[in-house]
C-alpha cells in the first residue's frame, strides 16, 4: 500500500523554455505525453512539436515520469519544432511579461511629432463626400476623426479611416445612419475608446473591419448588426466571441484569426449564410457540433490551433466545403479519413485545386513543367 501511494504522489518539475523556467505539478505516475499536454497552453507549442530532454536524453511520450528517473524538483528542457504552434506563436519570456497587454505609450518626443499632424478638410472635399457618399481617409496620418465627417450625416455610405493612428471612435459614428461599409482596421483602437453603442446603431452596415487594433472583447450588442455580411476582427487580442454573434444570420465572411480565442459559441451554427471562416492562430482545442449547420460554408481556416478533432458532421452536412486548412494542428489525415463524408469533401477539394492549376497553366506563357532551363 505504501509503495502504491508513493508511486502516485504529486510532484513538481521545472521545464526550461525560451529563457524561462515553467513549474508543472502533476502525478508522479503521469506520462511524458501528459506533461506535454499541460505545457501546451503555457508555451503555445503543440504536443507533437515538443521535444523534452532530461539529462541529455530525449523523452518518449509513453515514458512514465518515475520510470524515467524524474523526481520532484527535476529540471527538463523543452525544444520546440518551428511552426508547430497554436495562437500567434511560442510564448517567450518577453511575451509572458506582457499579461496586461496594451498599446505602447507614446514618449514625449513621439507625442510632439504626432501633435503636429493636421489634416485639413476643405469645404470642397466635404461637399464631394456628401455627393458621392464616400469618405476615403485611409493612411492619412490621422489621430482623430475630423469633425467634418459627422457633418456629412446620412449621406455617407462608406467610411474608410484605416491605417491611421486613431484611438477613439465615439458615439457620433451613429449619426452616419446610412453607412454600409466601415473600415477601422490598422489603428490604435482599444476597448475603452470604441463606442459600440454608436457602431451598433448603424442598422444598414454590411461590412465592418476592426482588424489590427487592440480589442480584447466584443459586446453582446454586436447582435444588433443584422445586416452585416462581413466582419473582420483579426489581429486583436480577443479571448472569446459573444453568443449574440449567432444573430448575424446574413453574415457571409468571418475573420477572427490571430487572436486568443479559446472556444467558439455553439450559436455559430445559426449563421447559416457563412461562406468563409478564418479562426487561424487562436487557442482552440475543439469546435462545436453546430458547425454542421453551416450548409453554405466553402472555406474554413484553422491552422495554428490546438485542435485534436473536428465536428462529426462537418463533411457530411457541409456539402459546399472545399477548402480546409488544418496545418499545425493535432489532426492527422488518418483521423480525417474516418469522418463520414470525407470522400466527397476530398473530391471537391481536389477538383478545386485542379481548376486552380488549370487556370495557372492557361495564364502562363512560359510554363515548362518545372524543367531546368540550364
Query: Residue 122's pLDDT is what?
Result: 55
C-alpha to C-alpha distance for 241 and 284, rounded to whole angstroms: 12
Query: Residue 93's pLDDT is what?
Result: 60
DSSP 213: S
CA distances from 355 to 318, 361, 370 (A): 21, 10, 19
Q: In 10 A of CB 359, how many CB atoms?
A: 10
Q: What cell does 151 get? A: 457633418
C-alpha to C-alpha distance for 225 and 24, rounded to whole angstroms: 44
Asked if 335 and 358 count as a contact pair (C-beta separation under 8 A), the reply is: no
pTM for the model: 0.73
Beta bridge partners of 45: 85
Return the H-helix or E-strand segment holding 298: none
Query: Residue 123's pLDDT is what?
Result: 63
**What is the full DSSP assignment across 130-175?**
HHH-EEE-TTS--SS--HHHHHTGGG-SEEE--SS----B-GGGGG
Return the H-helix or E-strand segment holding 82: none
Q: Where are the beta strands (DSSP E) in 184-286?
A: 207-209, 230-232, 253-255, 276-278
Query: Residue 82's pLDDT is what?
Result: 73
CA distances from 67 to 4, 101, 242 (A): 14, 41, 46
The per-residue pLDDT string of the chain (374 residues; one tens digit each, 9 = 90 and over) reads 444 444 468 889 999 998 889 999 988 889 999 899 889 888 888 888 899 988 888 999 999 988 888 889 899 899 888 766 776 677 766 555 444 444 444 444 444 334 434 444 456 888 889 999 999 999 999 999 999 999 999 999 999 999 999 999 999 999 999 999 999 999 999 999 999 999 999 999 999 999 999 999 999 999 999 999 999 999 999 999 999 999 999 999 999 999 999 999 999 999 999 999 999 999 999 999 999 999 999 999 999 999 999 999 999 999 999 999 999 999 999 999 999 999 999 999 999 888 878 776 655 544 343 333 33
Asked if 210 and 234 count as a contact pair (C-beta separation under 8 A), the reply is: no
Q: Which domains does the chain carry?
A: 2-92 (3.10.20.90), 116-358 (3.80.10.10)
- Burial classification of residue 309, based on how many CB atoms lie within 10 Å of its CB (0-12 exposed, 13-18 middle, 19 or more buried): middle
Q: Which of 82, 70, 89 is nearest to 29 (CA)?
A: 70
Asked if 189 and 166 count as a contact pair (C-beta separation under 8 A), the reply is: yes
Query: Residue 363's pLDDT is what?
Result: 56
Q: What cell does 60 get? A: 518518449
Amino acid at each position: 500500500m505504501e509503495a502504491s501511494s508513493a508511486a502516485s504522489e504529486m510532484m513538481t518539475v521545472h521545464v526550461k523554455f525560451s529563457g524561462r523556467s515553467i513549474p508543472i505539478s502533476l502525478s508522479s505516475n503521469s506520462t511524458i505525453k501528459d506533461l506535454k499536454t499541460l505545457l501546451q497552453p503555457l508555451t503555445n507549442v503543440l504536443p507533437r512539436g515538443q521535444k523534452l530532454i532530461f539529462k541529455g536524453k530525449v523523452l518518449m511520450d509513453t515514458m512514465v515520469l518515475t520510470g524515467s528517473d524524474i523526481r520532484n524538483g527535476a529540471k527538463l528542457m523543452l525544444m520546440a519544432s518551428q511552426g508547430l504552434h497554436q495562437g500567434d506563436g511560442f510564448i517567450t519570456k518577453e511575451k509572458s511579461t506582457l499579461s496586461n497587454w496594451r498599446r505602447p505609450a507614446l514618449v514625449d518626443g513621439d507625442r510632439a511629432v504626432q501633435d503636429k499632424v493636421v489634416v485639413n478638410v476643405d469645404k470642397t472635399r466635404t461637399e464631394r463626400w456628401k455627393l458621392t457618399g464616400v469618405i476615403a481617409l485611409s493612411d492619412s496620418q490621422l489621430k482623430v476623426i475630423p469633425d467634418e465627417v459627422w457633418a456629412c450625416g446620412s449621406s455617407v455610405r462608406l467610411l474608410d479611416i484605416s491605417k491611421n493612428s486613431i484611438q477613439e471612435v465615439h458615439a457620433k459614428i451613429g449619426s452616419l445612419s446610412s453607412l454600409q461599409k466601415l473600415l477601422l482596421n490598422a489603428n490604435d483602437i482599444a476597448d475603452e475608446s470604441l463606442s459600440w453603442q454608436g457602431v451598433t446603431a448603424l442598422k444598414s452596415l454590411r461590412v465592418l473591419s476592426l482588424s489590427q487594433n487592440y480589442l480584447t472583447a466584443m459586446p453582446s450588442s454586436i447582435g444588433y448588426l443584422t445586416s452585416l455580411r462581413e466582419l473582420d476582427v483579426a489581429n486583436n487580442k480577443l479571448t472569446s466571441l459573444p453568443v449574440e454573434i449567432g444573430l448575424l444570420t446574413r453574415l457571409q465572411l468571418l475573420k477572427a484569426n490571430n487572436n486568443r480565442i479559446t472556444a467558439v459559441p455553439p450559436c455559430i451554427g445559426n449563421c447559416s449564410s457563412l461562406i468563409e471562416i478564418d479562426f487561424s492562430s487562436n487557442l482552440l482545442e475543439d469546435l462545436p457540433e453546430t458547425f454542421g449547420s453551416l450548409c453554405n460554408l466553402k472555406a474554413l481556416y484553422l491552422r495554428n490551433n490546438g485542435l485534436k478533432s473536428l465536428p462529426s458532421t462537418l463533411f457530411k452536412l457541409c456539402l459546399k466545403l472545399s477548402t480546409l486548412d488544418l496545418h499545425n494542428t493535432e489532426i492527422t489525415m488518418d483521423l480525417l479519413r474516418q469522418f463520414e463524408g470525407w470522400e466527397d469533401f476530398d473530391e471537391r477539394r481536389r477538383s478545386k485545386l485542379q481548376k486552380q492549376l488549370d487556370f495557372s497553366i492557361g495564364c502562363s506563357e512560359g510554363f515548362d513543367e518545372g524543367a531546368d532551363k540550364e
